[in-house]
Amino acid sequence: MLPSRAGGYHHEYTVITPGSATRGARRIVTGEEYQEDYCTADHYASFDLVDHDC
């Protein structure tokens, strides 16, 4: 679950899913803080914080 924030705090971006006729389930979600970026592969059921050091 993402941290609770006011509306408009997070922004979502679609990650292209090869072979999908729709937008698919994968997204990158960004927050306003530096390196506050999350990825989800299951359309918001779970999130992983992006590791910017890898």
* Residue at 2 is within a domain: no
* Residue at 6 is within a domain: no
What are the catalytic residues? 12, 43
pLDDT value of residue 54: 79
Number of domains in the chain: 1
Strands 11-14 and 27-30: antiparallel
pLDDT tens-digit readout, 1-54: 888 999 999 999 999 999 999 999 999 999 999 999 999 999 999 999 999 997
pTM assigned to the model: 0.84
Q: Residue 27 phi/psi, 5° resolution?
A: -145, 155
pLDDT value of residue 1: 83
Q: List, in order, residues 6 or more apart from 35 with CB less than 8 Å away.
A: 50, 52
Domain of residue 34, residue span: 11-49
Give the domain CATH number at 35: 3.10.450.30
pLDDT value of residue 11: 97
